[in-house]
């Protein structure tokens, strides 16, 4: 009987940890004072971990000349403008008025200034430009205006790349809840 109670307690703890692990709030991760990662970002019902990288589109996703992603590394919101726009908005909300993704060169002042630039690509133009959503006021941390525009594949941008966080499956939840019953010893009369 003591074994059964222990087993049931363990199963309940495991279920609780699975249930709560998928409901964590988004978390900004910093490196050198800059936002480099965002964990548990919820976009349209799915949870993602995002990396903030400075790169060219071609270096990050390796498309061929017709925007076929031969490495299987397609941008998460490719052909999903609503998802891309939502992702940019959620990231801008998290960055708020104080957090930055990089320092960018500001020619008029001849100095580097903080930026909250974030770019999420979602399509291409007939002339092989990348269409993305981004913050139109990337040099002003206090102003956030989402806009969309096209840019070359070789333009250096501050991209957000996303990896979906797997949700616990129904089968694993079912297994954890029925485990105590399967392992229960039958009483003999």
Band (58; pLDDT cuts 50, 70, 90): very high
Return the percentage of the chain with pLDDT > 90, whole number. Answer: 59
| DSSP string covering the chain | -HHHHHHHHHHHHHHHHHHHHTTPPPEEEEETTEEEEEEEEEETTEEEEEEEEEEEHHHHH-B-TTS-BTTS---TTTT-HHHHHHHHHHHHHHHTTT--SEEEEEGGGTEEEEE---EEEEEE-TTSPEEEEEETTTT-TT---EEEEEE-TT-EEEEEEEEEPPPPPHHHHHHHHHHHHHHPPPPP-
Whole-prediction pTM value?
0.77
Q: pLDDT by residue (tens digit) across 154-174?
A: 999 999 999 999 877 655 666
């Amino acid at each position: 009987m003591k074994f059964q109670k222990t087993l049931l307690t363990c199963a309940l703890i495991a279920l609780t940890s699975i249930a709560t692990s998928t409901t964590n709030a988004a978390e900004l991760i910093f490196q050198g004072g800059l936002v480099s990662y965002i964990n548990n970002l919820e976009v349209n019902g799915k949870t993602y971990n995002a990396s903030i990288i400075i790169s060219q589109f071609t270096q990050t996703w390796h498309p061929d000349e017709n925007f076929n992603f031969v490495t299987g590394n397609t941008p998460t919101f490719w052909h999903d403008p609503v998802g891309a726009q939502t992702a940019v908005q959620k990231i801008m909300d998290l960055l708020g008025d104080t957090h930055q993704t990089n320092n960018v060169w500001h020619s008029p002042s001849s100095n580097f200034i903080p930026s909250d630039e974030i770019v999420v690509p979602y399509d291409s133009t007939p002339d092989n430009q990348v269409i993305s959503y981004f913050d139109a006021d990337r040099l002003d941390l206090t102003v956030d205006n989402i806009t969309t525009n096209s840019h070359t594949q070789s333009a250096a941008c501050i991209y957000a790349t996303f990896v979906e966080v797997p949700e616990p499956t129904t089968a694993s939840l079912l297994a954890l809840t029925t485990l105590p019953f399967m392992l229960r010893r039958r009483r003999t009369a």
